[in-house]
């Protein structure tokens, strides 16, 4: 708790002291807004695995609505049992925006994929698809990267496109003498009053000694040309949604790929969810059998208080294998 207080106290002082002379505030309102949520879960296979965990305790600071016409920023940290219960600084992003254009600078998630930009807070499943976690540019490298990214969009935002330049090695470690580079591009089109979205992403990376866990063997570091692409589509109404993505990666000619299809049905406060996931890595010893999820969510107060039940099973040569169930409660801090 002391670390939380210290983090937000220092951030508030720095942001207030730096930005307040530059941007006029209305009345006595503070220039920043604090958001956050937590996810507590129990996981079991009803055999030899029974585990309670803190999946996420996430906080972020953004400017309030009257902060500035052209400037935006975000600072985000997370705390998780999977990260040895230590705070991890995720986003430190400054953004300039004008009509039809914006430019991000700092540490953030490169625009790539559809589901990667659906918040953990609103996901109908307890986790994103395994192929998303593995084959987005920095899926096993901390997800974020350091760089700059521009965005162009039409006045009604029915068309959007992004282009980014990044270090290319994620954020788990810093290379002062980095010789690599990563280029990303994404385009999305929204139709039918934005109920239908489809598009693509592409990435090129000149890599140097990268450890790509769950893509290549743990003992292998990758140096060379890393090219990837992604196709996505999403359709949503008030009560129904379906989405799918295909991801492909070539690491010096070695191919990893996969896809998922996810659907959700909303019945008042009840939500029924199902997904099919296929991921093929470049590790001979791993099992690439399909993974199926069947879930139920109780939206007690929409996504602010949500109880989730997720049942996962692999289909291996026609047999059900590796069953796991997850019970999770999500509570918004604001």
Contact assessment for residue 45 and residue 310, using Cβ atoms and an 8 Å cutoff: no
Q: Rounded to an integer, what distance in angstroms lies between the CA atom of residue 194 and that of residue 277? A: 25
List the domain boundaries for the chain: 1-92, 99-332
- Residue 26: pLDDT over 70: no
- Residue 17: pLDDT over 60: no
For 34-52, how does the pLDDT look when each residue is reduced to its tens digit (9 = 90+)? 999 999 999 999 999 999 9
Compute the C-alpha angle 171/174/180, nearest 5°. Answer: 90
Region 103-109: mean pLDDT is: 98
For 49-58, how does the pLDDT look when each residue is reduced to its tens digit (9 = 90+)? 999 999 999 9
Backbone angles phi, psi at 16, to 5 degrees: -65, -45
Backbone angles phi, psi at 83, to 5 degrees: -115, 35
Structure tokens at 169: 């090695």
For 140-162, how does the pLDDT look when each residue is reduced to its tens digit (9 = 90+)? 999 999 999 999 999 999 999 99
For 266-308, how does the pLDDT look when each residue is reduced to its tens digit (9 = 90+)? 999 999 999 999 999 999 999 899 999 999 999 999 999 999 9
User: Residue 29 has what pLDDT?
Assistant: 62
For 161-173, how does the pLDDT look when each residue is reduced to its tens digit (9 = 90+)? 999 999 999 999 8
SS3 143: coil
72 by Cβ neighbours in 10 Å (0-12 / 13-18 / 19+) ranks as: middle
Enter the pTM of the model: 0.89
CATH code linked to domain 99-332: 2.40.160.10
């Amino acid at each position: 708790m002391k670390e939380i207080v210290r983090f937000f106290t220092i951030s508030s002082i720095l942001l207030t002291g730096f930005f307040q002379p530059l941007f006029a505030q209305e009345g006595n309102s503070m220039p920043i807004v604090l958001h956050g949520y937590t996810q507590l879960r129990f996981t079991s296979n009803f055999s030899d695995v029974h585990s309670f965990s803190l999946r996420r305790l996430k906080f972020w600071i953004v400017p309030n609505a009257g902060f500035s016409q052209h400037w935006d920023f975000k600072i985000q940290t997370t705390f998780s049992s999977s990260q040895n219960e230590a705070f991890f600084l995720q986003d430190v992003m400054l953004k300039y925006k004008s009509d039809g254009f914006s430019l991000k600078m700092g540490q953030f998630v490169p625009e790539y994929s559809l589901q990667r930009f659906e918040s953990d807070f609103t996901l109908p499943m307890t986790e994103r698809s395994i192929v998303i976690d593995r084959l987005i540019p920095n899926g096993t490298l901390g997800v974020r990267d350091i760089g700059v990214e521009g965005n162009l969009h039409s006045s009604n935002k029915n068309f959007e496109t992004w282009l980014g330049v990044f270090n290319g090695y994620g954020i788990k470690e810093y290379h002062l003498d980095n010789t690599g580079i990563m280029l990303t591009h994404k385009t999305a089109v929204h139709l039918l009053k934005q109920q239908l979205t489809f598009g693509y992403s592409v990435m090129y990376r000149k890599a140097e000694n990268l450890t790509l866990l769950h893509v290549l063997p743990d003992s292998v570091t990758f140096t060379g040309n890393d090219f990837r692409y992604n196709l996505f589509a999403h359709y949503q109404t008030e009560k129904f949604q379906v989405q799918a993505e295909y991801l492909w990666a070539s690491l010096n000619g070695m191919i990893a790929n996969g896809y998922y299809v996810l659907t959700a049905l909303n019945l008042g406060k009840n939500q029924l969810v199902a997904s099919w996931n296929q991921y093929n890595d470049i590790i001979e010893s791993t099992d690439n059998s399909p993974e199926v999820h069947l879930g139920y969510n109780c939206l007690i107060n929409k996504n602010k208080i949500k109880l989730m039940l997720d049942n996962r099973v692999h289909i291996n040569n026609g047999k059900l294998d590796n069953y796991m169930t997850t019970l999770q409660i999500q509570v918004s801090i604001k």
